[in-house]
Amino acid sequence: MVLLTAENIRKSYGTRIIFDDISFSIHEGDKIGVVGVNGTGKSTLLKIIAGVGQADSGEIITMNGMKIGYLPQAPVFQAGTTVLEQVFTGDYPQMELVRAYEACLKELEQAPSDSTLAEKAAVLAEKMDKAEAWSLESEAKNILTRLGITDFSRKVETLSGGQRKRVALAAALIAPVDLLILDEPTNHIDNETVEWLEKHLEKYSKALLMVTHDRYFLDRVANRMLELEKGKVYPYQANFTKFLEMKAEREELLAANERKRQNFLRNELEWVRRGAQARSTKQKARLQRFEEVSAQKAPEEKQNVELSSMGSRLGKKTIELSHVCKSFGETEYIHDFSYIILRNDRVGITGNNGCGKTTLLKIMTEQLTPDSGTVTRGETVKIGVFAQENETWDENQRVLDYIRDTAEYVSTADGKLSASQMLEKFLFPVSMQRGPISMLSGGEKRRLYLAKVLMESPNILFLDEPTNDLDIETLMILEEYLEHFQGAVVAVSHDRYFLDKTMRRIFAFLGNGRIKQYEGGYTDFREAYLKEKGSNIPAPAPKKETKPEIKTEKKLLKMTYKDQREYDTIGGEINELETKISVLENAMAECTTDYMRLQELSEEKEALDNKLEERMERWMELNELAEEIEKNRKVQNT
């Protein structure tokens, strides 16, 4: 069932086109991840679908009576409300019954012999049972607890930014909606909570539309992907890993089609230059086709964030922490911690929110002084810090000038890069470099900030939640850069994929200031940690001793008549499909002038390839069954 259809949506900011006439649908059961480079309009699209933003033109058509829930990146709260009241802000008749019942009970405390009040309370209790009001409040409290919020009566204005995001997430998850829209739901949430949220959303029965940089999350939750690129939208029936494969195939097809188009244009241009006269209808049609094909837009060359290793020489002495302790008030966050950062270290720091991860990072970079213990830094150490929060921006400053404030040039393995060239590497074309920072999206500002940090050529790089607000494409290139970075990297992150891909050692905050070192990435740490806790990790099932079966008790396996017929004919089907594909491949190789015909052949071949793959899989199933039958027959005869 189609829940929502977006038709011909257009959106621009000034001269910058965000959506150029895009259309797509959301169906019941869809769990859609929206991906794209920062600035392509992911959050803008979510706002338009949620009805809190407006497109310049186009239409959003929804199912009658459809309800949409929306979690923005920065939720707005009503001052004076408690956590539980904030969760139930909106249309919740069940909670109105609960509040009326609670008020009635308070009145009964004052007048216990009032039969009218007692009767009213009984009626309300019966209504609540029918409306399942008690279970709704219980579910809300359970979700809040799993998200790390246990004080349900606390005023929302006293919460931290991360806590507010989790309260808003709880409100979104409990809402009775047909489509739930989530903008960066995994930001400000620790790894254990993200794992719980994954499992919760895997079982979630309503449609989902979400933006997140968490690739493991997209892999396990999403069953569809929408890619935004250069004002267009590309749908994929896939999770994140399969999407990457299908995206590569799409780009290869575009490149192949463009090569064919260029070959056609070269051949036709030679014919035109030979002075061919448009005397006949056939010649006129050929000229017209040439003009139509030459007018087609070539696919824009894809830009990538390509970074050569930038860094200065690091001597033997790096940064050494010796018996460091740090407390705030009566809470000890770091207790007797010692470590020497190695020259090519890759250290990931993980733990629950508020446990002291950023505090440790600030002590390492001497932004914060420990209560006891020492931090010493080598003379050649040059640190770069990518903090959680961007610097204080001069919104009117030009993008190019912001980078030039750091350096005009930076040395890389490929030679010197100017500030402008560095920005181009980070997907900031010249037209954007001349504009003010105020024109950038939140994610683009994070990318600009990262460019500046790397422009400083550090040899020890400190990253505090680097995956927040960075698009997946930039993250993948950053991960590639870190792999070849000639220096040490220390990163605080909740991104499990990022920690697995880039880190070789994990520091885990275990509570009460204890920090323990684990070797490997996040998955290695998690397995070791759960074993230490005595967690009920599924143990390998004990091997069962197999006893010879009595012939009379063993049933002889058989193929059904239908399976046997299919098994007898499937080989011929496969041969026929392979022959057809071979014929199409030859036709495509010879088709150098008819661009439209090439497209038709390509689509026909793709359909046959899919059919061949399906028949091959079926042949393997039937072949395995035939082998099992033969094996079973031999056992019967022994």
- The string of pLDDT tens digits covering residues 355-369 is 899 999 999 999 999
Element (H, E) at 409: strand 409-412
> By C-alpha distance, which of 437, 442, 443, 402 is closest to 422?
402
SS3 224: strand
What is the pTM assigned to this prediction? 0.68
Across residues 338-347, what is the average pLDDT?
A: 93
Strand-strand pairing, 331-340 and 319-328: antiparallel
Length of the chain: 638
| Tokens encoding 116 | 């009218």
Chain centre distance of CA 279 = 58
Q: Are 376 and 318 in contact (CB under 8 A)?
A: no
Does residue 244 carry a pLDDT above 80? yes
Give the pLDDT score at 216: 92
pLDDT tens digits along 394-421: 899 999 999 999 888 877 666 788 889 8
Q: Are 34 and 209 in contact (CB under 8 A)?
A: yes
Contacts of 337 (CB under 8 A, 6+ apart): 321, 323, 324, 325, 360, 373, 515
Sign of the Cα pseudo-torsion (206, 207, 212, 216, in order): positive
Q: How far is it, in rounded angstroms, from Cα 519 to Cα 506?
A: 6
Does residue 243 carry a pLDDT above 70? yes
Does residue 342 carry a pLDDT above 50? yes
Element (H, E) at 161: helix 161-174
pLDDT tens digits along 430-471: 888 999 998 888 778 888 998 898 888 888 999 998 888 788
Q: How far is it, in rounded angstroms, from Cα 255 to Cα 636?
A: 58
Q: Which residue has the higher pLDDT, 336 or 84?
A: 336
CA atoms within 13 A on the CB side of 334: 27
pLDDT tens digits along 19-59: 999 999 999 999 999 999 888 899 999 999 999 999 999 99
- DSSP for residue 428: -
Q: Are 384 and 454 in contact (CB under 8 A)?
A: yes
Give the pLDDT score at 260: 75
SS3 593: coil
Q: What SS3 string covers 237-303?
A: CCCHHHHHHHHHHHHHHHHHHHHHHHHHHHHHHHHHHCCCCCCCHHHHHHHHHHHHHHHCCCCCCCC
Strand-strand pairing, 415-418 and 372-377: unpaired
Q: How far is it, in rounded angstroms, from Cα 343 to Cα 486?
A: 8
Give the pLDDT score at 536: 47
Alpha helices in 485-594, H assignment, sequence order: 496-502, 522-532, 561-590
Q: Are 608 and 530 in contact (CB under 8 A)?
A: no
Element (H, E) at 349: strand 346-350
* pLDDT > 90 fraction of the chain, expressed in percent and rounded: 35
pLDDT tens digits along 98-132: 778 778 888 888 888 788 888 888 887 777 777 66
> By C-alpha distance, which of 300, 182, 296 is closest to 232?
300
| Tokens encoding 567 | 């098994």
Q: Where are the beta strands (DSSP E) in 106-196?
A: 179-183
| Tokens encoding 261 | 């188009």
Element (H, E) at 126: helix 115-131
Q: How far is it, in rounded angstroms, from Cα 320 to Cα 466?
A: 23
Residue 62 forms beta bridges with which residues? 4
Lowest mean pLDDT among 244-248, 259-263, 446-450, 533-537: 533-537
Q: How far is it, in rounded angstroms, from Cα 343 to Cα 311?
A: 12
Amino acid at 271: W
Q: What is the mean pLDDT of the chain?
A: 82
Give the pLDDT score at 532: 86
Q: How far is it, in rounded angstroms, from Cα 498 to Cα 215?
A: 9
SS3 390: coil
Q: Are 602 and 588 in contact (CB under 8 A)?
A: yes
Does residue 598 carry a pLDDT above 80? no
